Structure 1
Amino acid sequence: MTAIRRFSFACVLFLFAAAASAATVNLPDFSPLVRDAAPAVVNIEATQNPSAMSRGGYDDEEMPEFFRRFFGPGMPTPPSRGGTSLGSGFIISADGYVLTNHHVVDGADDITVRLNDRRELSAELIGSDPQSDIALLKVKASGLPVLKTGRSQALQPGQWVIAIGSPFGFDHSVTAGIVSATGRSNPYAPDQQYVPFIQSDVAINRGNSGGPLLNTSGEVVGINSQIFSNSGGWMGVSFAIPIDVAMNAVQQIKDTGTVSRGQLGVQVQDIDQATASALDLELPRGALVVQVEPGSAADKAGIEVQDVIVGFDGQEVVRWSELPPLVGAVAPGSRVEVEVIRAGRERTLTAVLDAVGGDAVASASRRAGGASQSNPLGVVVQDLSAQERAQLGIEGDEGVVVVRVEPRVAQRTDIRRGDIVTRVGRETIRSKADFEAAVGDADGDEPVMLLLQRGGRSQFVTVTPAGH
Structure 2
Amino acid sequence: MKQSKLKTGLLAAALVAGISALAGLAPSIEAQQEAQPIDRLSSSDRAAVESIRTFSDGFAAVASLVTPSVVTITTQGEVQAANQSPFPMNDPLLQRFFGDFFRNPQQGQGRTVPLNGLGSGVVIREDGYIVTNNHVIRGADEFTVTFHDGEEMAAELVGTDPRSDLAVLKVNATDLQAVELADSDDVRIGEWVLAVGSPFSANLSTTVTAGIVSAVGRSSVGLNQYEDYIQTDASINPGNSGGALVNLYGEVVGINTAIASRGGGSNGIGFSIPSNMVSDISTKLITDGRVSRGYLGVQINDVDPDMAEAMGAKGAQGAFVQAVQDGTPAYDAGIKDGDIIVELDGQELKDSNDLRFRVAQIPPGTMVSVKVIRDGREKDLFVELAEYEDNPTAAVADPNESHNESLGLTVEPITPQVQRQLNLQNADGLVITSVSPRGPAAEKGLRTGDVILEINRKAIGSLREYREVLSNAPANKPVLFLIQRGEATTFVAVRPE
Give your verdict on TM over 0.5. Answer: yes
**Among 153, 162, 167, the residue aligned to 1:130:** 162
Q: 1:129 to 1:403 in 2, by over 3 A?
A: closer
Q: Which residue of 2 aligns with 1:40?
A: 69
User: CA separation in 1, counterparts of 2:344 and 2:83?
Assistant: 37
1:178 aligns with 2:215: no
1:192-244: CA deviation from partner (whole Å, max 9, x where unpaired): 33331112222101000001111111111111111122222222211111121
With the length of structure 1 as denominator, give the TM-score of the two structures.
0.67
Deviation at 1:363, TM superposition (A): 3.6
Indicate conservation of the 8 Å contact 1:124/1:138, yes or no.
Answer: yes
Indicate conservation of the 8 Å contact 2:79/2:113, yes or no.
Answer: no
Q: 1:80 to 1:268 in 2, by over 3 A?
A: closer
Q: 1:278 to 1:214 in 2, by over 3 A?
A: same
Indicate the SS of the match to 2:200: helix
Q: Percent identity?
A: 39
Matched letter for residue 173 of structure 1: T
1:364 aligns with 2:397: yes
Indicate conservation of the 8 Å contact 1:186/1:197, yes or no.
Answer: no
Indicate conservation of the 8 Å contact 1:269/1:364, yes or no.
Answer: yes
Indicate conservation of the 8 Å contact 1:209/1:225, yes or no.
Answer: yes
User: CA separation in 2, counterparts of 1:132 and 1:403?
Assistant: 34
Matched letter for residue 216 of structure 2: T
Q: 1:217 to 1:248 in 2, by over 3 A?
A: same
Q: Which residue of 2 aligns with 1:306?
A: 338
**Among 362, 374, 380, the residue aligned to 1:330:** 362
Indicate conservation of the 8 Å contact 2:194/2:211, yes or no.
Answer: yes
Alignment of 1:265-414 (within 5 A): 265-359=297-391, 362-365=395-398
1:54 aligns with 2:76: no
Matched letter for residue 181 of structure 1: A
User: CA separation in 2, counterparts of 1:18 and 1:267?
Assistant: 62
Matched letter for residue 168 of structure 1: F
Query: For structure 1, which runs of at least 5 residues remain unmatched after alignment?
Result: 1-13, 59-78, 369-391, 395-400, 405-416, 419-453, 458-468
Indicate conservation of the 8 Å contact 1:89/1:210, yes or no.
Answer: yes
Select between 79-88 and 274-283 the one with higher mean Cα deviation: 79-88
**Among 259, 267, 276, the residue aligned to 1:244:** 276
Deviation at 1:331, TM superposition (A): 0.3
Deviation at 1:80, TM superposition (A): 9.0
Q: 1:271 to 1:254 in 2, by over 3 A?
A: same
Matched letter for residue 249 of structure 2: S
Q: Which residue of 1 aligns with 2:60?
A: 31
Deviation at 1:56, TM superposition (A): 6.3
RMSD of equivalent CA atoms: 3.4
Deviation at 1:367, TM superposition (A): 10
Q: Which residue of 2 aligns with 1:140?
A: 172
Indicate the SS of the match to 1:108: coil
Aligned residues: 344
Indicate the SS of the match to 2:242: coil
Indicate conservation of the 8 Å contact 1:324/1:363, yes or no.
Answer: no
Q: 1:403 to 1:41 in 2, by over 3 A?
A: closer
Query: For structure 2, which runs of at least 5 residues remain unmatched after alignment?
Result: 1-41, 85-110, 402-411, 419-426, 429-461, 467-497
Q: 1:402 to 1:110 in 2, by over 3 A?
A: closer
Q: 1:201 to 1:359 in 2, by over 3 A?
A: farther
Alignment of 1:104-123 (within 5 A): 104-123=136-155
With the length of structure 2 as denominator, give the TM-score of the two structures.
0.63
User: CA separation in 2, counterparts of 1:333 and 1:348?
Assistant: 19
Alignment of 1:12-27 (within 5 A): 24=52
User: CA separation in 1, counterparts of 2:389 and 2:83?
Assistant: 22
